[in-house]
Amino acid sequence: MRLKAKEIEQAVRGKLSSNVSFDTVITHVEFDTRKVSEGTLFVPLKGNRDGHDFISNAFEEGATLTLSDRDLEGDFPYILVEDTQKALQDLAKYYLIQVNPKVAAITGSNGKTTTKDMTAAVLGSFYQTYKTQGNYNNEIGLPYTILNMPKETEALVLEMGMDRKGDIELLSSIGRPNVAAITMIGESHIEYLGSRQGIAEAKMEIVSGLKEKGTLIVPSEEELITPLLANVTQKVLRFGLNDSADVSAKILEEGREKTTFTTPLYPDVIFSIPVLGQYNVGNALIAILIGTELGVPVEKIQKGLANFDLTKNRTEWLETAKGMSLLSDVYNANPTAMTLVLDSFSKIETTGRKLVVLGDMLELGEGSRGMHESVSAHLSPEIIDEVYLYGQEMSYLYEVLKETYATDKCHWFSKEDKKALMDSLGEKVTPTDTVFLKGSNGMGLKEIVDYLLNNH
């Protein structure tokens, strides 16, 4: 980045303090004082603490300029704005126009990050590409992502997350995508949105910023989306494994760390992805479509998918010191996502037993009990040898599974009993076992993953 103070003043509709030269150059933007250095524009945001309280710290670390929603005492150079968060978003819009990359935006109840990683690999095989880092996918993280992309960026992949209605509309208006994709409609945040219908409507807000000649990519199997497409004027493509999809796939091989498939879009090409599960084929179809829409040759698409890097904690295989295999997917969870991975885990071949550790799925609202109970249809004692359930909501699943599992093969622990769970699991597991762990991030299953890695 190389923006002059005068440009920033105009972009954020602010007013430069008298001690700032119009030609002062800003090379990066930060809201965390720990990342501040020379050339930084510091953006004080209001959270648990008011970022304005740290402006002096930012300048001690070398900041060149700050935004502020109030006049500052002392000699701090600043731009006065009405709202620092909105100013951050407005500056991101301005910088995006200056760089002018092709923009792909991805949202959905599950698979956003994996699809983002796949898409970035596909576009990165042909363009200078930048993508959302980690989970920087909200009203602060998305503009921060834009402002951190190198000025040479030709393609930008933006992950868009949400908690409530209106979130995706805001992010789409900032990102202005050429191509937008919805991975799936699940149950995440149903507590705030009331129903899957409400979630579908919220996800469809991604169209609000989609360019007039852009493309919307949606799952063909999702009936809730179909009526919402009536007023979409942009090109719409449907992906899925069924015949109704505009772009479908035929799975050739589904292994522990590799899935291969073909698609009628490129009938002579065999695609390979280095991850488990037919649900990931759907994510790969999105990446293929985005690559195709943005002009990436098929051989580059094929190479990008075969070698993409998956963000950590998203359905990753790990191996303990003694050789036990762990399938860790502990970043988030909803019933649709949990059962999809359970089904794939059930299909893989292992030399020893299969165990699962499932934590509460949070933010499911009044229907939480029934949704947790529904997971029972995907757990069979003939396939999954032992089940460990953790958290209050998982007690409902435990009551159902007691009907099919022997008492020494199905275990439940309250949230306060994490150590007891780890002790029990530690006594039972052997190096030949394969263990799948999944739950909402708030349940802290990463601690159990680390325990197994360090002790078994």
| Residue 181 near residue 203 (C-beta atoms within 8 A) | no
Structure tokens that stand for 296 in this block: 């990436």
Structure-token pair, residue 173: 């208006």
Best CA proximity match to 31, nearest among 145, 130, 129, 135 = 145
Q: Known binder of ligand: residue 114?
A: yes
Beta strands in 39-128 (DSSP E): 40-42, 65-68, 78-80, 102-107
C-alpha angle with apex 93: 87 to 94, nearest 5 degrees? Answer: 90
| Torsion from C-alpha of 167, 135, 439, 365, nearest 10 degrees | -10
Contact 192, 166 (CB under 8 A): no
The pairs formed by 93-99 with CB atoms below 8 angstroms and a separation of 24 or more are: 93/11, 93/143, 93/174, 93/176, 94/7, 94/11, 95/1, 95/3, 95/11, 95/146, 95/147, 96/146, 96/156, 96/174, 96/175, 96/176, 98/3, 98/151, 99/149, 99/151, 99/153, 99/156
Please count the helices (runs of H) and the strands (runs of E) in the chain. 15, 22
CB 328 within 8 A of CB 314: no
Polymer length in residues for the chain: 456
Q: Is 111 annotated as a binding residue?
A: yes
Q: Please, are residues 107 and 175 in contact by the beta-carbon 8 Å criterion?
A: no
Per the annotation, does 110 bind a ligand? yes
Q: Which residues pair with 357 in a beta bridge?
A: 388, 437
Rounded distance between C-alpha atoms, residue 277 and residue 331, angstroms: 17
Nearest CA among 307, 412, 317, 302 for reference residue 359: 412
- Is 113 marked as binding a ligand? yes
User: Which residue type, as a one-letter code, is found at position 167?
Assistant: D
Alpha-carbon span 275 to 280, nearest angstrom: 7
φ/ψ bin of 229: left (φ > 0), alpha (ψ from -120 to 50), beta (otherwise): alpha
Do the annotations mark residue 313 as ligand-binding?
Answer: no
- Helix, strand, coil percentages, rounded to 5, for the chain: 40, 20, 40
State yes or no: 109 annotated in a binding site. Answer: yes
Closest CA to 224 of 203, 249, 245: 203
- Known binding-site residues equal 108-114
- Known binding-site residues for ATP equal 108-114
